[in-house]
Structure 1
Amino acid sequence: MSSPPATPPVLSLIHLPAELLSSIASYLDVCSLWNLLDTCTWCRYSLLASPTIWKQLEFNLDSHGLHAVYAALRRFRDDNGHGLRLRVEQISMNGTDDSMISPIVMMVKFPRMLRLSAKQRRFNTNLETDTKILQELIKRGSLQPGSLALRHLDIYHYYMDYEPHLDAYQRTLDRLCVDKVELDIRRCYDPPSTLEDQMDELQLDTTNHNDNNQQQPQQQQQQQQQQPQPQQQYCTRIISKTERCWACHTLLTRCWHCVSHCTQCKTKRLPPLANAHQHKQQRLEQQKLRLLETNMAMMDPDLKDEFSLFE
Protein backbone atom coordinates (compact mmCIF):
# COMPACT_ATOMS: atom_id res chain seq x y z
CA MET A 1 0.00 0.00 0.00
CA SER A 2 1.52 3.31 -1.12
CA SER A 3 2.05 6.05 1.41
CA PRO A 4 0.22 9.38 0.92
CA PRO A 5 2.26 12.14 -0.66
CA ALA A 6 4.10 14.31 1.78
CA THR A 7 2.63 17.74 2.30
CA PRO A 8 5.03 20.62 1.71
CA PRO A 9 6.07 22.46 4.84
CA VAL A 10 4.25 25.69 5.59
CA LEU A 11 6.67 28.60 5.72
CA SER A 12 5.90 31.64 7.83
CA LEU A 13 7.25 35.15 7.57
CA ILE A 14 9.94 34.43 10.14
CA HIS A 15 11.61 32.06 7.66
CA LEU A 16 12.06 34.82 5.09
CA PRO A 17 15.39 36.63 4.91
CA ALA A 18 15.30 40.17 6.24
CA GLU A 19 16.37 41.54 2.84
CA LEU A 20 13.46 39.81 1.10
CA LEU A 21 11.00 41.06 3.71
CA SER A 22 12.22 44.63 3.24
CA SER A 23 11.88 44.29 -0.53
CA ILE A 24 8.26 43.15 -0.14
CA ALA A 25 7.51 45.99 2.26
CA SER A 26 8.82 48.60 -0.18
CA TYR A 27 5.91 47.83 -2.56
CA LEU A 28 3.18 48.30 0.08
CA ASP A 29 1.18 51.40 0.90
CA VAL A 30 1.43 52.81 4.40
CA CYS A 31 -1.62 50.98 5.79
CA SER A 32 -0.53 47.60 4.42
CA LEU A 33 2.96 48.26 5.74
CA TRP A 34 1.70 48.72 9.28
CA ASN A 35 -0.47 45.61 8.91
CA LEU A 36 2.65 43.65 7.99
CA LEU A 37 4.43 44.97 11.07
CA ASP A 38 1.57 43.78 13.27
CA THR A 39 1.77 40.15 12.07
CA CYS A 40 4.57 39.14 14.42
CA THR A 41 7.33 40.51 16.62
CA TRP A 42 10.07 39.44 14.22
CA CYS A 43 8.52 41.41 11.36
CA ARG A 44 8.08 44.43 13.56
CA TYR A 45 11.69 44.64 14.71
CA SER A 46 13.08 43.74 11.28
CA LEU A 47 11.13 46.43 9.45
CA LEU A 48 11.55 49.10 12.10
CA ALA A 49 15.31 48.58 11.87
CA SER A 50 15.27 49.11 8.09
CA PRO A 51 15.68 52.83 7.29
CA THR A 52 15.10 52.48 3.54
CA ILE A 53 11.45 51.39 3.50
CA TRP A 54 10.38 54.47 5.48
CA LYS A 55 11.92 56.98 3.08
CA GLN A 56 9.04 56.68 0.60
CA LEU A 57 5.40 56.26 1.64
CA GLU A 58 2.24 55.83 -0.41
CA PHE A 59 -1.29 56.65 0.73
CA ASN A 60 -4.16 54.92 -1.04
CA LEU A 61 -7.79 55.54 -0.13
CA ASP A 62 -9.06 52.99 -2.65
CA SER A 63 -7.63 50.04 -0.72
CA HIS A 64 -8.09 51.48 2.78
CA GLY A 65 -10.58 53.91 4.19
CA LEU A 66 -9.88 57.33 5.66
CA HIS A 67 -10.05 55.95 9.21
CA ALA A 68 -7.27 53.46 8.47
CA VAL A 69 -5.11 56.17 6.89
CA TYR A 70 -5.39 58.44 9.94
CA ALA A 71 -4.73 55.47 12.22
CA ALA A 72 -1.51 54.85 10.28
CA LEU A 73 -0.55 58.53 10.54
CA ARG A 74 -1.00 58.51 14.32
CA ARG A 75 1.62 55.78 14.60
CA PHE A 76 4.32 58.15 13.32
CA ARG A 77 5.01 59.57 16.76
CA ASP A 78 8.17 60.96 18.30
CA ASP A 79 7.59 59.29 21.67
CA ASN A 80 7.94 55.69 20.42
CA GLY A 81 11.72 55.93 20.11
CA HIS A 82 11.93 54.96 16.43
CA GLY A 83 12.03 58.41 14.85
CA LEU A 84 10.08 57.25 11.80
CA ARG A 85 8.51 60.65 11.23
CA LEU A 86 11.88 62.22 10.46
CA ARG A 87 12.95 59.42 8.10
CA VAL A 88 10.24 60.11 5.50
CA GLU A 89 11.58 61.87 2.39
CA GLN A 90 8.94 61.19 -0.30
CA ILE A 91 5.17 60.83 -0.07
CA SER A 92 2.69 59.91 -2.79
CA MET A 93 -0.99 60.66 -2.22
CA ASN A 94 -2.11 60.80 -5.85
CA GLY A 95 -5.84 60.39 -6.33
CA THR A 96 -6.73 60.86 -2.65
CA ASP A 97 -9.52 63.26 -3.56
CA ASP A 98 -10.96 63.62 -0.07
CA SER A 99 -11.45 66.85 1.85
CA MET A 100 -10.37 65.24 5.13
CA ILE A 101 -6.79 64.67 3.99
CA SER A 102 -4.67 67.26 2.23
CA PRO A 103 -1.01 68.02 1.42
CA ILE A 104 -0.91 70.37 4.42
CA VAL A 105 -1.40 67.39 6.74
CA MET A 106 1.70 65.78 5.26
CA MET A 107 3.72 69.00 5.51
CA VAL A 108 2.97 69.33 9.22
CA LYS A 109 3.45 65.64 9.98
CA PHE A 110 6.70 65.11 8.04
CA PRO A 111 8.88 68.27 8.19
CA ARG A 112 11.89 66.59 6.53
CA MET A 113 9.91 65.46 3.49
CA LEU A 114 11.63 66.47 0.24
CA ARG A 115 8.99 65.56 -2.33
CA LEU A 116 5.21 65.42 -2.09
CA SER A 117 3.01 64.20 -4.94
CA ALA A 118 -0.70 65.05 -4.58
CA LYS A 119 -1.86 64.90 -8.19
CA GLN A 120 -5.34 64.18 -9.55
CA ARG A 121 -7.23 65.71 -6.62
CA ARG A 122 -9.71 67.54 -8.81
CA PHE A 123 -12.38 68.45 -6.25
CA ASN A 124 -10.11 69.20 -3.29
CA THR A 125 -7.20 71.09 -4.80
CA ASN A 126 -7.83 74.71 -3.82
CA LEU A 127 -4.75 76.93 -3.78
CA GLU A 128 -6.61 79.88 -2.27
CA THR A 129 -7.79 77.84 0.73
CA ASP A 130 -4.41 76.16 1.19
CA THR A 131 -2.63 79.52 1.10
CA LYS A 132 -4.90 80.93 3.82
CA ILE A 133 -4.45 77.83 6.00
CA LEU A 134 -0.65 77.92 5.68
CA GLN A 135 -0.55 81.64 6.49
CA GLU A 136 -2.76 81.05 9.51
CA LEU A 137 -0.44 78.26 10.71
CA ILE A 138 2.47 80.68 10.45
CA LYS A 139 0.62 83.32 12.49
CA ARG A 140 -0.25 80.80 15.21
CA GLY A 141 3.30 79.47 15.34
CA SER A 142 2.33 75.93 14.33
CA LEU A 143 4.73 76.25 11.38
CA GLN A 144 7.85 78.37 11.46
CA PRO A 145 9.31 80.09 8.37
CA GLY A 146 12.13 78.00 6.95
CA SER A 147 11.15 74.92 8.97
CA LEU A 148 10.24 72.58 6.09
CA ALA A 149 12.66 70.72 3.82
CA LEU A 150 10.15 70.39 0.96
CA ARG A 151 11.64 70.95 -2.52
CA HIS A 152 9.13 69.46 -5.00
CA LEU A 153 5.34 69.58 -4.86
CA ASP A 154 3.09 68.01 -7.51
CA ILE A 155 -0.55 69.17 -7.48
CA TYR A 156 -1.64 68.98 -11.13
CA HIS A 157 -4.93 67.49 -12.27
CA TYR A 158 -6.36 67.28 -15.79
CA TYR A 159 -9.13 69.82 -15.22
CA MET A 160 -6.96 72.75 -14.11
CA ASP A 161 -7.75 75.89 -16.08
CA TYR A 162 -7.08 79.28 -14.46
CA GLU A 163 -5.46 79.71 -11.06
CA PRO A 164 -5.23 83.36 -9.91
CA HIS A 165 -3.77 82.39 -6.51
CA LEU A 166 -0.73 80.54 -7.85
CA ASP A 167 1.73 83.34 -7.06
CA ALA A 168 0.52 83.75 -3.47
CA TYR A 169 0.69 80.00 -2.96
CA GLN A 170 4.24 79.88 -4.32
CA ARG A 171 5.38 82.75 -2.08
CA THR A 172 3.87 81.12 1.00
CA LEU A 173 5.61 77.81 0.28
CA ASP A 174 8.93 79.55 -0.32
CA ARG A 175 8.57 81.30 3.02
CA LEU A 176 7.94 78.04 4.87
CA CYS A 177 10.66 75.95 3.20
CA VAL A 178 14.42 76.16 3.32
CA ASP A 179 14.79 76.05 -0.45
CA LYS A 180 12.54 77.32 -3.22
CA VAL A 181 9.72 74.85 -3.87
CA GLU A 182 9.38 73.62 -7.44
CA LEU A 183 5.78 73.04 -8.54
CA ASP A 184 4.74 70.80 -11.41
CA ILE A 185 2.44 73.46 -12.88
CA ARG A 186 2.93 76.84 -14.50
CA ARG A 187 1.02 79.34 -16.60
CA CYS A 188 0.98 78.85 -20.34
CA TYR A 189 2.46 82.25 -21.21
CA ASP A 190 2.69 84.93 -18.54
CA PRO A 191 2.75 88.65 -19.29
CA PRO A 192 5.78 90.53 -17.90
CA SER A 193 5.29 90.80 -14.15
CA THR A 194 7.63 93.71 -13.47
CA LEU A 195 8.31 97.09 -15.05
CA GLU A 196 11.84 95.96 -15.92
CA ASP A 197 10.51 92.94 -17.83
CA GLN A 198 8.06 95.18 -19.70
CA MET A 199 10.85 97.59 -20.70
CA ASP A 200 13.04 94.68 -21.87
CA GLU A 201 10.20 93.27 -23.99
CA LEU A 202 9.40 96.72 -25.44
CA GLN A 203 13.08 97.29 -26.29
CA LEU A 204 13.27 93.86 -27.94
CA ASP A 205 10.18 94.59 -30.06
CA THR A 206 11.57 98.00 -31.08
CA THR A 207 14.92 96.48 -32.07
CA ASN A 208 13.28 93.80 -34.18
CA HIS A 209 11.03 96.38 -35.82
CA ASN A 210 13.99 98.64 -36.73
CA ASP A 211 15.99 95.74 -38.17
CA ASN A 212 13.10 94.72 -40.36
CA ASN A 213 12.63 98.28 -41.60
CA GLN A 214 16.28 98.51 -42.67
CA GLN A 215 16.15 95.27 -44.64
CA GLN A 216 12.81 95.69 -46.42
CA PRO A 217 12.11 97.97 -49.43
CA GLN A 218 10.15 101.19 -49.21
CA GLN A 219 7.02 99.62 -50.70
CA GLN A 220 6.92 96.87 -48.08
CA GLN A 221 7.37 99.42 -45.32
CA GLN A 222 4.31 101.34 -46.51
CA GLN A 223 2.25 98.14 -46.62
CA GLN A 224 3.28 97.22 -43.10
CA GLN A 225 2.38 100.68 -41.81
CA GLN A 226 -1.11 100.32 -43.26
CA GLN A 227 -1.64 96.89 -41.65
CA PRO A 228 -2.35 96.70 -37.87
CA GLN A 229 0.51 95.27 -35.82
CA PRO A 230 -0.41 91.99 -34.06
CA GLN A 231 -0.41 92.19 -30.30
CA GLN A 232 1.43 89.69 -28.13
CA GLN A 233 -0.99 86.96 -27.02
CA TYR A 234 -0.69 86.12 -23.33
CA CYS A 235 -2.31 83.07 -21.79
CA THR A 236 -2.63 82.37 -18.07
CA ARG A 237 -4.10 78.88 -18.31
CA ILE A 238 -2.44 76.29 -16.07
CA ILE A 239 -0.43 73.55 -17.77
CA SER A 240 1.72 70.70 -16.54
CA LYS A 241 5.47 71.08 -16.83
CA THR A 242 5.82 67.41 -17.82
CA GLU A 243 3.05 67.07 -20.43
CA ARG A 244 4.23 65.52 -23.71
CA CYS A 245 2.77 64.99 -27.14
CA TRP A 246 0.87 61.73 -27.44
CA ALA A 247 2.35 61.03 -30.90
CA CYS A 248 6.05 61.98 -30.69
CA HIS A 249 6.46 62.49 -26.90
CA THR A 250 7.86 65.99 -27.34
CA LEU A 251 7.67 68.19 -24.25
CA LEU A 252 4.81 70.69 -24.68
CA THR A 253 5.42 74.28 -23.60
CA ARG A 254 2.03 75.86 -24.44
CA CYS A 255 -1.54 74.82 -23.74
CA TRP A 256 -3.61 73.05 -26.38
CA HIS A 257 -5.86 76.10 -26.73
CA CYS A 258 -2.99 78.33 -27.88
CA VAL A 259 -1.09 75.76 -29.97
CA SER A 260 -3.50 73.28 -31.54
CA HIS A 261 -0.81 71.16 -33.27
CA CYS A 262 2.47 69.76 -32.03
CA THR A 263 5.38 71.91 -33.15
CA GLN A 264 7.53 68.82 -33.73
CA CYS A 265 5.33 66.25 -35.53
CA LYS A 266 2.44 68.60 -36.52
CA THR A 267 -0.10 66.18 -35.05
CA LYS A 268 -3.34 67.63 -33.71
CA ARG A 269 -3.09 67.98 -29.95
CA LEU A 270 -5.61 66.56 -27.50
CA PRO A 271 -7.00 67.87 -24.19
CA PRO A 272 -4.94 66.81 -21.14
CA LEU A 273 -7.18 63.91 -20.11
CA ALA A 274 -7.39 62.47 -23.65
CA ASN A 275 -3.66 63.01 -24.08
CA ALA A 276 -2.92 61.00 -20.92
CA HIS A 277 -5.31 58.27 -22.07
CA GLN A 278 -3.36 57.92 -25.33
CA HIS A 279 -0.10 57.60 -23.38
CA LYS A 280 -1.67 54.88 -21.23
CA GLN A 281 -2.85 52.93 -24.26
CA GLN A 282 0.62 53.12 -25.79
CA ARG A 283 2.20 51.79 -22.59
CA LEU A 284 -0.25 48.88 -22.49
CA GLU A 285 0.51 48.00 -26.11
CA GLN A 286 4.25 48.11 -25.42
CA GLN A 287 3.80 45.82 -22.40
CA LYS A 288 1.83 43.32 -24.49
CA LEU A 289 4.52 43.41 -27.17
CA ARG A 290 7.30 42.80 -24.64
CA LEU A 291 5.33 39.94 -23.09
CA LEU A 292 4.81 38.38 -26.50
CA GLU A 293 8.50 38.67 -27.32
CA THR A 294 9.42 37.08 -23.99
CA ASN A 295 7.04 34.16 -24.58
CA MET A 296 8.40 33.63 -28.08
CA ALA A 297 11.96 33.60 -26.75
CA MET A 298 11.05 30.94 -24.17
CA MET A 299 9.17 28.80 -26.70
CA ASP A 300 10.59 25.45 -27.80
CA PRO A 301 12.49 25.81 -31.14
CA ASP A 302 10.54 22.97 -32.79
CA LEU A 303 7.23 24.50 -31.75
CA LYS A 304 8.41 27.92 -32.95
CA ASP A 305 9.07 26.46 -36.42
CA GLU A 306 5.52 25.10 -36.53
CA PHE A 307 4.08 28.51 -35.69
CA SER A 308 6.26 30.13 -38.35
CA LEU A 309 4.18 28.35 -41.01
CA PHE A 310 1.29 30.68 -40.24
CA GLU A 311 3.32 33.87 -40.66
Structure 2
Amino acid sequence: MTEPTPLPFSPFATIPRELVIEIFLHLDILSLFSFLDTSRFHRRLLLSLPPIWRTVVFDSHVKMEMVDVYSTLRRFRDGNGLKKVVERVIMDGMDDPWSPNLIVLLVKFPNLYYLSATSRRRTTNLESDAWILNEMLSSGTIPAGSLSLRTLHVRHDYMDRDRLRPLVAVLEKLARERVQLDVRECGHVGCRQIVGVEKVECGGCGRVEGRCWKCVDACEGCKRRRFPPFIRNREVLELSKAVAVGEGKEGGEEEDAFSVFE
Protein backbone atom coordinates (compact mmCIF):
# COMPACT_ATOMS: atom_id res chain seq x y z
CA MET A 1 0.00 0.00 0.00
CA THR A 2 1.47 3.32 -1.05
CA GLU A 3 1.49 6.21 1.37
CA PRO A 4 -0.27 9.42 0.33
CA THR A 5 1.99 12.09 -1.05
CA PRO A 6 2.51 14.77 1.62
CA LEU A 7 1.58 18.33 0.85
CA PRO A 8 4.54 20.37 -0.42
CA PHE A 9 6.26 22.37 2.29
CA SER A 10 5.73 26.12 2.11
CA PRO A 11 8.45 28.47 3.35
CA PHE A 12 5.67 30.79 4.47
CA ALA A 13 4.76 28.29 7.19
CA THR A 14 7.76 29.40 9.23
CA ILE A 15 7.86 33.12 8.42
CA PRO A 16 6.38 35.57 10.96
CA ARG A 17 2.99 36.94 9.93
CA GLU A 18 4.30 40.51 9.98
CA LEU A 19 6.92 39.61 7.38
CA VAL A 20 4.38 37.72 5.24
CA ILE A 21 2.18 40.82 5.21
CA GLU A 22 5.12 43.02 4.22
CA ILE A 23 5.97 40.69 1.32
CA PHE A 24 2.48 40.48 -0.13
CA LEU A 25 1.80 44.20 0.19
CA HIS A 26 4.12 44.62 -2.81
CA LEU A 27 2.08 42.39 -5.15
CA ASP A 28 -0.59 43.48 -7.60
CA ILE A 29 -3.98 41.89 -7.10
CA LEU A 30 -3.76 39.40 -10.00
CA SER A 31 -0.42 38.08 -8.74
CA LEU A 32 -1.83 37.88 -5.23
CA PHE A 33 -4.72 35.67 -6.29
CA SER A 34 -2.42 33.57 -8.46
CA PHE A 35 -0.34 32.75 -5.40
CA LEU A 36 -3.44 32.15 -3.30
CA ASP A 37 -4.55 29.46 -5.77
CA THR A 38 -1.30 27.46 -5.49
CA SER A 39 -2.38 25.50 -2.39
CA ARG A 40 -4.97 25.24 0.35
CA PHE A 41 -2.37 26.33 2.89
CA HIS A 42 -1.62 29.51 0.96
CA ARG A 43 -5.32 30.19 0.56
CA ARG A 44 -5.96 29.89 4.30
CA LEU A 45 -2.87 31.95 5.05
CA LEU A 46 -3.68 34.90 2.79
CA LEU A 47 -7.38 35.02 3.66
CA SER A 48 -6.40 35.27 7.33
CA LEU A 49 -4.39 38.46 6.71
CA PRO A 50 -6.78 41.41 6.13
CA PRO A 51 -3.99 44.03 5.76
CA ILE A 52 -2.87 42.63 2.39
CA TRP A 53 -6.39 43.05 0.96
CA ARG A 54 -6.99 46.63 2.05
CA THR A 55 -5.22 48.02 -1.02
CA VAL A 56 -6.06 46.55 -4.44
CA VAL A 57 -3.51 47.37 -7.14
CA PHE A 58 -4.04 46.72 -10.84
CA ASP A 59 -0.55 47.14 -12.26
CA SER A 60 -0.70 48.42 -15.84
CA HIS A 61 2.80 47.02 -16.45
CA VAL A 62 1.57 43.48 -15.78
CA LYS A 63 0.11 41.76 -18.83
CA MET A 64 -3.55 41.06 -18.17
CA GLU A 65 -6.75 40.23 -19.99
CA MET A 66 -9.91 42.09 -19.04
CA VAL A 67 -11.66 38.78 -18.43
CA ASP A 68 -9.08 38.12 -15.69
CA VAL A 69 -9.67 41.56 -14.20
CA TYR A 70 -13.42 41.07 -13.89
CA SER A 71 -12.94 37.50 -12.70
CA THR A 72 -10.66 38.84 -9.97
CA LEU A 73 -13.20 41.47 -8.92
CA ARG A 74 -15.88 38.78 -8.58
CA ARG A 75 -13.70 37.00 -6.03
CA PHE A 76 -14.24 39.84 -3.58
CA ARG A 77 -17.42 38.61 -1.91
CA ASP A 78 -19.26 39.01 1.35
CA GLY A 79 -18.88 35.26 1.86
CA ASN A 80 -15.09 35.33 2.11
CA GLY A 81 -15.00 38.66 3.93
CA LEU A 82 -12.89 40.42 1.31
CA LYS A 83 -15.47 42.80 -0.13
CA LYS A 84 -15.69 45.00 2.96
CA VAL A 85 -11.97 44.90 3.70
CA VAL A 86 -10.92 46.90 0.61
CA GLU A 87 -10.24 50.57 1.37
CA ARG A 88 -7.97 51.64 -1.50
CA VAL A 89 -7.94 50.82 -5.23
CA ILE A 90 -5.11 51.88 -7.55
CA MET A 91 -5.57 51.38 -11.29
CA ASP A 92 -3.36 54.11 -12.78
CA GLY A 93 -2.58 53.66 -16.48
CA MET A 94 -5.16 50.90 -16.91
CA ASP A 95 -6.62 52.37 -20.10
CA ASP A 96 -8.15 49.42 -21.91
CA PRO A 97 -11.59 50.45 -23.28
CA TRP A 98 -13.15 47.49 -21.45
CA SER A 99 -11.47 48.13 -18.11
CA PRO A 100 -13.76 48.89 -15.15
CA ASN A 101 -14.54 52.54 -14.55
CA LEU A 102 -14.64 54.31 -11.22
CA ILE A 103 -18.38 53.69 -10.74
CA VAL A 104 -17.87 49.91 -10.82
CA LEU A 105 -15.35 50.21 -8.00
CA LEU A 106 -17.50 52.58 -5.93
CA VAL A 107 -20.44 50.18 -6.09
CA LYS A 108 -18.32 47.08 -5.54
CA PHE A 109 -16.45 48.17 -2.41
CA PRO A 110 -18.63 49.86 0.25
CA ASN A 111 -15.66 50.96 2.39
CA LEU A 112 -13.55 52.36 -0.45
CA TYR A 113 -12.13 55.73 0.60
CA TYR A 114 -9.22 56.13 -1.88
CA LEU A 115 -9.49 55.57 -5.63
CA SER A 116 -6.69 56.41 -8.06
CA ALA A 117 -7.47 56.03 -11.77
CA THR A 118 -5.00 58.40 -13.42
CA SER A 119 -3.46 58.28 -16.91
CA ARG A 120 -6.64 56.76 -18.40
CA ARG A 121 -7.21 59.04 -21.35
CA ARG A 122 -9.49 56.70 -23.33
CA THR A 123 -11.61 55.55 -20.41
CA THR A 124 -12.05 58.77 -18.41
CA ASN A 125 -15.23 60.72 -19.05
CA LEU A 126 -16.07 62.92 -16.07
CA GLU A 127 -19.31 64.22 -17.57
CA SER A 128 -20.62 60.71 -18.26
CA ASP A 129 -19.60 59.50 -14.79
CA ALA A 130 -21.41 62.44 -13.19
CA TRP A 131 -24.58 61.68 -15.17
CA ILE A 132 -24.55 57.99 -14.18
CA LEU A 133 -23.93 58.81 -10.52
CA ASN A 134 -26.86 61.24 -10.56
CA GLU A 135 -29.08 58.52 -12.03
CA MET A 136 -27.95 56.07 -9.34
CA LEU A 137 -28.63 58.70 -6.68
CA SER A 138 -32.12 59.35 -8.04
CA SER A 139 -32.96 55.63 -8.20
CA GLY A 140 -31.59 54.93 -4.73
CA THR A 141 -28.93 52.53 -6.03
CA ILE A 142 -26.40 54.66 -4.16
CA PRO A 143 -28.13 56.48 -1.29
CA ALA A 144 -27.13 60.04 -0.42
CA GLY A 145 -24.31 60.23 2.09
CA SER A 146 -23.44 56.54 1.75
CA LEU A 147 -20.06 56.62 0.00
CA SER A 148 -16.89 56.32 2.08
CA LEU A 149 -14.86 57.95 -0.70
CA ARG A 150 -12.54 60.75 0.45
CA THR A 151 -9.87 60.88 -2.29
CA LEU A 152 -10.34 60.53 -6.05
CA HIS A 153 -7.52 60.85 -8.58
CA VAL A 154 -8.55 60.90 -12.25
CA ARG A 155 -6.06 63.17 -14.01
CA HIS A 156 -4.45 62.40 -17.35
CA ASP A 157 -2.13 64.63 -19.37
CA TYR A 158 -4.65 65.19 -22.17
CA MET A 159 -7.44 66.37 -19.89
CA ASP A 160 -8.78 69.57 -21.41
CA ARG A 161 -12.25 70.90 -20.73
CA ASP A 162 -13.90 67.91 -19.10
CA ARG A 163 -16.92 69.12 -17.18
CA LEU A 164 -15.75 68.95 -13.59
CA ARG A 165 -18.47 70.80 -11.71
CA PRO A 166 -21.26 68.20 -12.19
CA LEU A 167 -18.98 65.47 -10.81
CA VAL A 168 -18.04 67.58 -7.79
CA ALA A 169 -21.71 68.37 -7.16
CA VAL A 170 -22.91 64.77 -7.22
CA LEU A 171 -20.00 63.56 -5.08
CA GLU A 172 -20.95 66.15 -2.46
CA LYS A 173 -24.37 64.50 -2.28
CA LEU A 174 -23.19 60.90 -2.28
CA ALA A 175 -20.12 60.98 -0.04
CA ARG A 176 -20.11 61.27 3.74
CA GLU A 177 -17.16 63.64 3.62
CA ARG A 178 -15.82 66.10 1.08
CA VAL A 179 -13.97 64.28 -1.72
CA GLN A 180 -10.49 65.57 -2.53
CA LEU A 181 -9.81 65.53 -6.29
CA ASP A 182 -6.44 65.81 -8.02
CA VAL A 183 -7.85 68.20 -10.66
CA ARG A 184 -9.43 71.64 -10.59
CA GLU A 185 -10.45 74.40 -12.94
CA CYS A 186 -7.85 76.97 -13.97
CA GLY A 187 -7.65 79.90 -11.58
CA HIS A 188 -8.01 82.46 -14.37
CA VAL A 189 -11.35 84.27 -14.50
CA GLY A 190 -13.64 82.70 -17.09
CA CYS A 191 -11.33 79.79 -17.95
CA ARG A 192 -12.70 76.25 -17.54
CA GLN A 193 -9.49 74.46 -18.47
CA ILE A 194 -8.74 71.49 -16.21
CA VAL A 195 -5.39 71.56 -14.41
CA GLY A 196 -3.78 69.60 -11.61
CA VAL A 197 -4.37 70.59 -8.00
CA GLU A 198 -0.65 71.01 -7.47
CA LYS A 199 0.64 74.24 -8.94
CA VAL A 200 3.35 73.94 -11.59
CA GLU A 201 6.86 75.29 -11.13
CA CYS A 202 8.73 76.83 -14.06
CA GLY A 203 11.65 74.65 -15.11
CA GLY A 204 13.76 77.76 -15.64
CA CYS A 205 13.30 79.98 -12.61
CA GLY A 206 11.07 77.94 -10.29
CA ARG A 207 8.23 80.45 -10.35
CA VAL A 208 4.93 78.85 -9.30
CA GLU A 209 1.99 79.25 -11.66
CA GLY A 210 -1.58 78.28 -10.80
CA ARG A 211 -3.13 79.09 -14.16
CA CYS A 212 -3.16 76.84 -17.22
CA TRP A 213 -0.69 77.04 -20.11
CA LYS A 214 -3.37 78.48 -22.40
CA CYS A 215 -4.05 81.47 -20.16
CA VAL A 216 -0.36 82.05 -19.42
CA ASP A 217 1.72 80.74 -22.32
CA ALA A 218 5.06 81.94 -20.93
CA CYS A 219 6.58 82.20 -17.47
CA GLU A 220 6.03 85.70 -16.13
CA GLY A 221 9.41 85.54 -14.44
CA CYS A 222 11.94 84.27 -16.99
CA LYS A 223 9.64 84.39 -20.07
CA ARG A 224 10.30 80.72 -20.75
CA ARG A 225 7.63 79.20 -22.96
CA ARG A 226 5.09 76.89 -21.30
CA PHE A 227 3.84 73.67 -22.89
CA PRO A 228 0.83 71.37 -22.44
CA PRO A 229 1.13 68.62 -19.80
CA PHE A 230 1.50 65.88 -22.42
CA ILE A 231 4.83 67.34 -23.58
CA ARG A 232 6.07 68.47 -20.19
CA ASN A 233 9.06 66.13 -20.49
CA ARG A 234 10.49 68.18 -23.35
CA GLU A 235 13.95 68.37 -21.80
CA VAL A 236 14.07 64.60 -21.30
CA LEU A 237 13.14 63.95 -24.92
CA GLU A 238 15.65 66.47 -26.22
CA LEU A 239 18.35 64.87 -24.09
CA SER A 240 17.42 61.46 -25.52
CA LYS A 241 17.80 62.85 -29.04
CA ALA A 242 21.19 64.30 -28.18
CA VAL A 243 22.34 60.97 -26.76
CA ALA A 244 21.11 59.15 -29.87
CA VAL A 245 23.06 61.51 -32.12
CA GLY A 246 26.13 61.15 -29.92
CA GLU A 247 25.98 57.38 -30.30
CA GLY A 248 26.38 57.75 -34.05
CA LYS A 249 22.81 57.28 -35.19
CA GLU A 250 22.14 58.57 -38.66
CA GLY A 251 20.13 61.65 -39.32
CA GLY A 252 20.73 65.05 -40.75
CA GLU A 253 18.99 68.02 -39.25
CA GLU A 254 16.91 66.88 -36.32
CA GLU A 255 13.21 67.59 -36.61
CA ASP A 256 11.71 69.48 -33.70
CA ALA A 257 9.18 67.11 -32.14
CA PHE A 258 7.26 70.10 -30.82
CA SER A 259 7.17 72.21 -33.97
CA VAL A 260 3.47 71.47 -34.28
CA PHE A 261 2.91 73.90 -31.41
CA GLU A 262 4.80 76.76 -33.10
Normalised by the size of structure 2, how large is the TM-score?
0.77
Superposed, 1:1-311 pairs within 5 Å as 12-61=11-60, 62-80=62-80, 83-100=81-98, 101-163=100-162, 165-189=163-187, 191=189, 234-242=190-198, 244-245=200-201, 247=203, 251-263=208-220, 267-276=224-233
- Which amino acid is the alignment partner of residue 75 of structure 2? R
% identical equivalent positions: 38
1:246/1:169 CA distance change after superposition, 3 Å: same
| Runs (5+) with no aligned partner, structure 2 | 1-8, 240-262
Measure, in 1, the Cα distance between the counterparts of 2:29 and 2:137: 29
Equivalent residues, number: 228
Alignment partner of 2:145: what SS?
coil
Q: Once the 2 structures are TM-superposed, how far is the Cα of residue 249 of structure 1 from its aligned partner?
A: 6.1
State the AA in 1 paired with 2:53.
W
Task: Find the counterpart in structure 2 of residue 217 from structure 1.
Answer: none
Q: Do the aligned residues in 2 keep the contact of 1:18 with 1:46 (CA within 8 Å)?
A: no
Contact kept, 8 Å, 1:96 with 1:121, in 2: the verdict is yes
Normalized per residue, the structure richer in helix is 1
Q: Which amino acid letter does the alignment assign opposite residue 261 of structure 1? A: A
Distance verdict in 2 for CA 1:190–1:261, change over 3 Å: closer
Whether the aligned pair in 2 keeps the contact of 1:57 and 1:92 (CA below 8 Å) is: yes
Kindly state the Cα deviation for residue 134 of structure 1 after the two structures are TM-superposed. Answer: 1.1
Change (3 A) 1:11 1:262: farther
**1:35-69 CA distances to partner (integer Å, 9 max, x unpaired)?**
12122233222222222222211113542211111
Pairwise CA distance, 1:274: 2.3
- Distance in 1 between residues matched to 2:108 and 2:46, nearest whole Å: 21
Offset at 1:251? Answer: 4.9
Q: Match of 2:194, SS?
A: strand
Task: State the Cα distance separating 1:13 from its structure 2 match.
Answer: 4.0
Whole-Å separation in 2 of the counterparts to 1:240 and 1:39: 43
Instruction: Report the 3-state secondary structure (helix = DSSP H, G, I; strand = E; otherwise coil) of the residue aligned with 1:85.
Output: coil
**Greater CA radius of gyration, 1 or 2?**
1
Decide whether aligned partners of structure 1 residues 12 and 277 sit closer, same or farther in structure 2, where only a CA change above 3 A counts: farther
> Moved runs in structure 1, 4+ residues, more than 6 A?
279-282
> Which residue does 2:258 correspond to in 1?
none
Q: Deviations over 1:232-283 (max 9, x none)?
A: xx3221111125336266654111122233456654333212225658999x
3-state SS, counterpart of residue 53 of structure 2: coil
1:172–1:14 Cα change, 3 Å: same
